[in-house]
Structure 1
Amino acid sequence: MAVVAVTVGFVAQGHAPRPYAAVEGELLDTLMAVPPPPPDTTAAAEQLRNLEARRAAPGAAPRPPQLGLAEPEAGDPVDLEIRVALLRAGGSPSLSAQGPWQLLSRDGQLLQQGAAGQSVDLGALWQAGPETWLQTTGPALLVNGQPYGGRLRLIQESSGLRLVNHLALEEYISSVVGAEMPSSWSMEALRAQAVAARSYALAHMARPANRHWHLGDTTRWQAYRGQGSVTDRTRQATAATAGLILSYQGAIVESLYAANRQISLEAHGHLGASMSQHGAQDLAQQGFRYNQILGHYYQGASLARLKAGAG
């Protein structure tokens, strides 16, 4: 459970900075459906004032709002693909698969193929052009023995190969949840983590780190371990929150988080809202739901649901 350390820029609303790192603009023809505010806004405002007063009191332990973020109506799933650079793999990784695999050129020509467990010939790969694709009909591709879903894009760089994992966004989130939190933790904490991880990923899909990939697999972004960190519980938390992200005034919130409150304040205090993962677990054990946990750490944000755009 490492710190997500990023450089954040404010998006201007008039001349005032926003309280979150937020990203605006269309994203792969995807829109966000944001629920209307709760009808009793006076009570909600009073509750927020009381919460801030308790926080300001010396020695007072922070408590979550009883009123969680409103949940948008259910909708059809949105099939988005995320591109993750496997920076931990190194420039000369061992590549194979758990089933038959094919190595293709950029234009789809077959360059190599092999059976489950048979290694890709990296020596011949350098003669195949600047970019190739590795895919399998089996359960997963293997990078240094570790399983990954989706496809791998192999890009030749001066320092060696750069592997970019192309996979479904929700499959990626299932892995991040398990890499960032113990899957044995309370389900509501895992759900809160899933929403925060998805919102963070969407922000980087809208503002990629590189022309070839959206974000990396290290804690410079958020931890990603392929299928090695996916469990039934991380899949359940991801499925239960499928398509949900954090939004602020129609923009995507780049939802920061860290292992505990102290690290969160030290790493992200100057950037705005940040979730403590241990704090989320503590709140979940007290009976708070994921949307109350998120409302506690990302005050002023809304829950939004991704939906397919008309374009």
Structure 2
Amino acid sequence: MSSTLGHNMESPNHTDVDPSVFFLLDIPGLEQFHVWLSLPVCGLGTATIVGNVTILVVVATEPVLHKPVYLFLCVLSTIDLAASVSTVPKLLAILWCGAGHISASACLAQMFFIHAFCMLESTVLLAMAFDCYVAICHPLCCATILTDPIIARIGVAAVVRGSLLMLPCPFLIGCLNFCQSHVILHTYCEHMAVVKLACGDTRPNRVYGLTAALLVIGVDLFCIGLSYALIAQAVLRLLSHEAQSKALGTCGSHVCVILISYTPALFFFTHCFGRLVPVHIHILLANVYLLLPPALNPVVYGVKTKEIRKRVVRVFQSGQGMGIKASE
């Protein structure tokens, strides 16, 4: 950060503290409900860990699931776990103890990883849409198009894309002067929430943030929509109603995950409405965006995908069988 971090940080309870430290705010107006709000946070965090670890273990131990769609699902689960680790512990510390202090370097690191993981997830969802397109529109070529090396390259491309798009963020923030408050009106270091604290011209940061969001959300949603338009054309050409239902069932889980992931993502654009959107509403939407999709994604795939559901049940049954034998 710039030398202006030498100014004192303003926080609700502290006036003379380390100036290189920011203070993450709780949810304004809902302070009396923090204990209750921590319950769904704990629940979603636990569901994220259990669900995504289960997906990873099941896919890794079942050779029949070593297919592109399930490999992409493993990448998605890994991203969801990493994103949860980046946010949930600090959020619980804020809700339980009011421990909102975070160093400038830790704030920049959290900002980078949170937004990079969101971009990674968007890229993986686009890759999964392409997999659905290939599976339905070119089923005979599926094994030759989405080979293991191609899937690995897609994974590398997702990491490179997310990292490069977010790499300017810490440097742009580091060029800003924070001559007033160091209290971030958020429960985590979200890019625009930090930019709003700066003095001087912040237009480059605002333009960059909006452009990056549009490049990811806009471009990926367009490509996903195009994939499903082509899929719909192919499905309508099928003469058998049973074949149509089977083809649509192939995409069912992915469509649900897209709706879960992208609908809360629209909270990014609430910054454009300024004071028309209450602060506590924006913060709640931002936390829903980070907490809900990672918890629900494995549930959606576990419930709607027969192959995963059967193998999860088999794993639990074998575990119970081993427990019974051990007790005997």
User: Into which bin does the TM-score normalised by the smaller protein fall?
Assistant: under 0.3
Structure having the larger proportion of residues in strand: 1
Structure having the larger proportion of residues in helix: 2
| TM-score of the superposed pair, with normalisation by structure 2 | 0.25
| TM-score of the superposed pair, with normalisation by structure 1 | 0.27
